Amino acid sequence: MKRLARRTFLGSAATVLGAVAHATSRVDLMTYVTCPTMRYHPAVVAQQSVGRAGMSHDSLARVLYERGQAQLAHRTPVGWTQAIMLFSQAIARDSSFALAWADLARTTNFVYTRGSDVGIPRDSLRAIALAASDKAAALAPNDPAIWLLKARSAFMMDPTDDAPRLFSVKKAISLDSTYALAWFEMGTIREELFEPAAALAAYQRAATLDPT
């Protein structure tokens, strides 16, 4: 537990405690008062809670994954490059690590969309994002956030084909009908399909679920 005491970034309580539960049956707890500087989106909280099911039993894989998350927090090309490497190393240790696959897909998707240079060809970034999101969905089929990620990866691969994107968003909503981000994505798809009434209904549903 010394590693836990040396953490240099604040992780989600749900995922951190999940990792602790995998590693030990006893742990000393302390109470702190924190002052958050931002509000976590409800979808992020939901993803973190669901994410406990996708946590690895391999302690080194979990360490690599947490280091990848810490690199992501830097929000720089160097940080994204390191995060991709660390998530890949975590997967090499445990190929069933759903959260690592999901964050590898999320990171490569983000880097591709942003157009940042991380030393990986853009076509390769797209392929990695799609393959990683497919693997994450296969490992954690009940995680709506992963299905939304899969939808975005499908759009990145072929923006002209709405079918796989629409299927994945519908799947996310079927798993969690209160998932505002999925409803917003549904609105975007319906708008692109020239279905204004359906688009408006989806956007209104998203705004009702998350007015922020």
Give the CA count within 13 Å in the CB-facing half-sphere of 52: 15
pLDDT in tens, 136-168: 999 999 999 999 999 999 998 888 899 999 999
Q: Which residues of the chain have pLDDT under 70?
A: 1-25, 29-54
Quick check: 48 and 14 in contact, CB under 8 A?
yes
Sign of the dihedral through C-alpha 25, 29, 33, 35: negative
Predicted local confidence at residue 58, as pLDDT: 84
Question: What CA–CA distance (Å, rounded) separates 212 from 194?
Answer: 26
- pLDDT for 99 equals 92
Radius of gyration, alpha carbons of the chain:
18
**Percent of the chain whose pLDDT exceeds 70:** 76
pLDDT of residue 22: 57
pTM, full prediction: 0.72
Q: Which helix (H) or strand (E) holds 49?
A: helix 42-50
Residue 56 is predicted with a pLDDT of 76
Burial 103-140 (b: 16+ CB within 10 A, else e): bbbbbbbbbbeeeeebebeeeebbbbbbebbbbbbebb
